Structure 1
Amino acid sequence: MTIYSTDGSVSKDSSLCKWLGYVQDGMKRIGLESEPGLYLEKWVKDVGFTNVHHKVFPYPVGPWPKDKTLVQGWEKEEVDVLVANVRKDLKNKSMHPQHDLHVVYAQKPMDAA
């Protein structure tokens, strides 16, 4: 997931973006794709679907699920400080963070069994 703002209110130096960078790094370390939306259209085409459409919809970022699994090797205090700063960023009404929702739809080939 990439966080951005269309009005420039979210800085890449914000705690929110830094936090997300750590999340993406952690996902990569355990073999997960942090940006699957970028690949959905290709994956659908690769398995033979036709009339593939890929639409991207920006939507606001809000609260996220809390997972106590730590793969970064951080101390609890380090996480607490970063999360406190992320919360400040999310409450900051002058920042308008969002990310993209990818929607892919397609047609099964007519000759498929």
Structure 2
Amino acid sequence: MPRPDLFGPALSIKDFRKLIKQCYRSVKPGGWVEFQDWDGYPSSADGSFNGTALQRYFDELNGAFEEAGDEVRPGPRLEQWFKDAGFVNIHVEQFVIPYGIWPKDPHLKKVGAWNQAQGEANGCEGAALAALTRYKQWTKEEVVVLASQARADGRKRDIHSFFNL
């Protein structure tokens, strides 16, 4: 099944642990390896994400891909996987990527607007259709309703969701 762009590199690598071990075996002493990925599940610092259709969307979608054996949340595990492979001097930087235009900070508002635009344009409904109809036996109509509700929640300024990159 072609992987939707919504999840980027997360779904394009089947076995992160194996890849990182291959990197360790391939890099010369003093060399370095860099990975950038994210947690494919949003959250909110104030709890405003909890109980929303947006949360249900990610619960269902991530659950479907995980049941299919895909790694949709590599970001939070990368540091440990690098340690397990034998790497030392591991440096981790974490960035908050808002979803939507809710942030007060002008830069984060712009980042959130772009994140929301790419999420909606690159597969909110398509990703859900692919995963939920194949792995969870949802009907197309059920998926369309959930995706529509999630998009609506993503546009609400009182839902302060973000991803960790």
Question: TM-score, length-normalised on structure 1?
Answer: 0.77
Equivalent of 1:4, from 43, 50, 56?
43
Give the helix-richer structure, 1 or 2: 2
Residue of structure 1 in register with 2:106 after alignment:
none
1:1-80 pair list within 5 angstroms:
1-10=40-49, 12-61=50-99, 62=116, 63-64=118-119, 65-66=122-123, 67=127, 68-70=129-131, 71-80=135-144
Q: How far off is 1:57 after superposition? A: 1.5
Q: How far off is 1:26 after superposition? A: 0.6
Paired letter, 1:9: S
Take 2:77 and 2:151, find their aligned partners in 1: how far apart are those partners? 30
Q: How far off is 1:43 after superposition? A: 1.5
Take 2:157 and 2:74, find their aligned partners in 1: how far apart are those partners? 29
Query: Greater shift after overlay, 18-27 or 28-37?
Result: 28-37
Question: Deviation digits for residues 58-109 of structure 1, max 9, x if unmatched?
Answer: 11122422134232211011011111111110111221210211xxxxxxxx
Gaps of 5+ in 1: 102-113
Take 1:45 and 1:6, find their aligned partners in 2: how far apart are those partners? 28
Name the count of aligned residue pairs.
100
Paired letter, 1:27: F
Report which structure shows greater RCO (CA 8 Å, sep ≥6). Answer: 1
Question: Deviation digits for residues 9-67 of structure 1, max 9, x if unmatched?
Answer: 32x21000001000111111111122211210121122222101222211112242213
Question: Aligned Cα RMSD in Å?
Answer: 1.6
Question: TM-score, length-normalised on structure 2?
Answer: 0.55
Secondary structure of residue in 2 paired with 1:50 = coil
Gaps of 5+ in 2: 1-39, 100-115
Identity of aligned residues (%): 31
